Structure 1
Amino acid sequence: MDFAIGTIDFGTRVSLEDTFALLDRFTEAGGAIVDTANNYPFWNAGRTGDESEEAVGAWLAARGARDRIVLSTKVGARPTVAGDRTLDSAEGLSARAIGRGIEGSLRRLGTDRVDVYWSHMEDRPVPLEETLGAFDELAAAGKIGRLGSSNMPAWRLERARNISAANGWLPYTALQLRHTYLRPRPMVRLPEGAHVLTTDETLAYAREENLSLWVYNALMSGAYTRADRPIPEAYDHPGTTRRLAVLREVAGELGATPNQVVLAWLTAQGLVPIVGVTTMAQLEEAIGSAGLKLDDELMRRLDEPC
């Protein structure tokens, strides 16, 4: 399967028993990419940010599954003040924070390495040289494999990659941004201030540089199919009405759900959707998208409205 399973609610809203069941089914169906972070879900009352990694780590240990999984986690956005539910005290991307971050993640995940390690958000006061040098040291020590950047604009990513190339350091080869089938209004500001949206420029840059682009919020928290989850205000414009109409037409013709068509549309472009699930029904729907093929004509129809 071409999508990653998102684990924000694992170990909290999703019980440990259900976490195991979801991960068992995901891997049974051929899934391999498990995405977490060292701060999920700190923004919920009473949570520390340990919970998701600990739940994933418990499953990896119980199933002996480490070598069958592409394990993805992040550093940089964990609060350093107990009880802080904002990003005001985020750990950042200093060499010290990165060193502490990886050790905490490895301990919670019960492993000696992470396959894809992400800078979770930007930390512009810290020089890129310091951040990238610290990541390269982790790679040299065998603690991380690939390096990814989450929520970074293309111009900063290009600067970072040039610095890594000049120093012979491990470069960013993956990018993680917010993206879905619907398009927000131009220049819109999202209420989730730390989220960076994918743009046409980003898509072109990723293709040109052969970067792996992972996308989150791909299903808009259920807004494509659930009446109780309205389309966010940032997407309120005539183009959304046109795209939703085509999406539903194509889904009806294929005997699929709109969510499945969105996932198939993303993966047809070589993108890696991160699908956050909390129920087995949601996971089964996502698994069902793997067999959905969009031919050139269907892709043209889906891409035409804007």
Structure 2
Amino acid sequence: MKYRTIGTDPATRREVSALALGAMLFGSVTDERTSFAVLDRYVEAGGTFIDTSDNYAFWVDGGQGGQSEDLLGRWLRSRGVRDELVIATKVGARPLAPGTGYVDNGEGLSAKVIRESAERSRERLGVERIDLLYAHIEDRTVPLAETVGAFGELVAEGTVGLLGASNHAIWRVERARALAAAAGLPGYEVLQYQHSHLRPRSDVPSPLFQDGSLGHAGPELLSYLRAEPDLTLVAYSPLLAGAYVRQDKPLPPDYDHPGTPARLEVLRQVARECGASVNQVVLAWQMGGPFPIIPLAGASSVTQLEENLAAVDLELSQDQRSRLDAAH
């Protein structure tokens, strides 16, 4: 396994594995026995960075989520590996009532919600401190200063380590970080957005966010990361839910444009040259890029996890990387 450092403050920064494991469907779609087996193998291989959220997976049973955190809590208690791991979770997008969603009835990012939701997450996970806590989605009904202050209080109290933001407009991230700096508070240091080798169209709404700019790591975010080397991008859905390799998993509509076939062809060429799978090339391309990207990939079986783990040691040549970057 290879490792990266996230965060800058010696009191909260952590070393994490270069490949993060997504636990979104653990305890719901993926049963407990399989979830435990995947988690065990990930840790055995040196993996240390596990990602969940307080709302995972509310859409499976029409509830409010919490299944993933509950399962991780049971696994952590049974394995005794807490100190070796960095557990990340999120608040802000948990539905307030069963049968509703985060768009029309999400918990939001008020100071009260942040404190109460983080406490419930700690209880489900069975941890004294959440290593990394994200603001899951934007809440423009609450002043940013209130949200920033609430997160800062949790860090000061020692119940949260690092802070992150997911699916926010970049100007909102920058404004929140500026407010935190001016107030002498910790700010967002880890950003989680959807990012893969294929590029979506920004003028077509994504399936999850009506404003297509919010969910994807587009040119503006990548430019921001180059200018702010202390930030880390955690890239969710790097393998597009299997769409690179599975005929039964079509690409989302925002990937329907002339550049997609060209980038797919280069991916397949490089995969043949390396004797690797297309999925492995995508992950290796992210991990070996010019600024820190940590792919966040889920796995519904140990076999699937093994394929992802093998990408950590896949070294792309400069020529291969240049061709992957230039395809359009």
Q: In which range does the TM-score fall when normalised by the shorter chain?
A: over 0.9
Find the counterpart in structure 2 of residue 208 from structure 1.
227
Q: Percent identity?
A: 47
Q: Match of 2:257?
A: 237
Tell me the equivalent position of 2:5: none
Are 1:123 and 2:145 matched, yes or no?
A: no
Which residue, out of 103, 107, 125, partners 2:119?
103
- AA aligned opposite 1:305: A
Q: 1:129 to 1:85 in 2, by over 3 A?
A: closer
Given candidates 223, 226, 229, the residue that maps to 2:246 is 226
* CA shift in 2, pair 1:164/1:28, >3 Å: same
User: The residue matched to 1:58 in structure 2 has which SS?
Assistant: helix
Is the partner of 1:44 in helix, strand or coil?
helix
The structure 1 residue matched to 2:71, chosen from 55, 58, 65, is 55
Q: 1:186 to 1:98 in 2, by over 3 A?
A: closer
Is residue 300 from structure 1 mapped to residue 319 from structure 2 by the alignment?
no
CA shift digits 1:197-248 (9 cap, x unpaired)? 1112211211211211111111000000111111222111221111101000
Whole-Å separation in 1 of the counterparts to 2:101 and 2:173: 28
TM-score, normalisation: structure 1: 0.97
Whole-Å separation in 1 of the counterparts to 2:130 and 2:306: 27
- Once the 2 structures are TM-superposed, how far is the Cα of residue 16 of structure 1 from its aligned partner? 1.1
- The SS at the match of 1:146 is strand
Matches of residues 1-306 of structure 1 in structure 2 within 5 Å? 1=1, 2-193=18-209, 196-210=215-229, 211-269=231-289, 270-306=292-328
* Contact 1:174-1:214 at 8 Å conserved across structures: yes
Flag structure 1 segments of 5+ consecutive residues without an equivalent. none
C-alpha contact 2:129 2:159 (8 A) present in aligned 1 = yes
Is residue 195–residue 237 contact of structure 2 (8 Å, CA) maintained in 1? yes
Distance in 2, Cα, partners of 1:185 & 1:131? 31
2:103 partner SS: coil
How far did 1:83 drift?
A: 2.9
Deviates more, 1:290-299 or 1:85-94: 85-94
Cα drift, residue 42 of structure 1: 0.5
The question of whether the paired residues in 1 share the 8 Å contact of 2:134 and 2:164 is answered with yes
- Label 1:204 to 1:48 Cα distance change in 2 as closer, same or farther (>3 A): same
After the TM superposition, which of the residue ranges 11-20 and 115-124 deviates more from structure 2? 11-20
CA contact (8 A) 2:177 2:188 kept: yes
Instruction: Give CA deviations for 1:168-196 in whole Å, capped at 9, x if unaligned.
Output: 01111111111110011242211212651
Letter aligned with residue 167 of structure 2: N
Which AA in structure 2 matches 1:221? A
How far, CA to CA, are the matches of 2:44 and 2:278 in structure 1?
24
Q: Separation in 2 of the partners of 1:8 and 1:191?
A: 17
User: Which letter maps to 1:203?
Assistant: L
C-alpha contact 1:45 1:85 (8 A) present in aligned 2: no
User: For the residues of structure 1 that align with 2:45 and 2:296, how far apart are their CA atoms?
Assistant: 16
Aligned equivalents of 1:239, 1:46: Cα separation in 2: 37
Q: CA RMSD in A?
A: 1.2
SS of match in other structure, 1:172: coil
CA distance in 1, matches of 2:226, 2:79: 36
Q: Report how many aligned residue pairs link the two structures.
A: 306
Q: Quick one: which amino acid aligns to residue 112 of structure 1?
A: E
Distance 1:258 1:292 in 2: 12
Deviation at 1:85, TM superposition (A): 4.0
Q: Quick one: distance in 2 between partners of 1:107 and 1:271?
A: 30
TM-score normalised according to structure 2 size: 0.91
The separation in 1 between residues aligned to 2:154 and 2:148, in whole angstroms, is 10
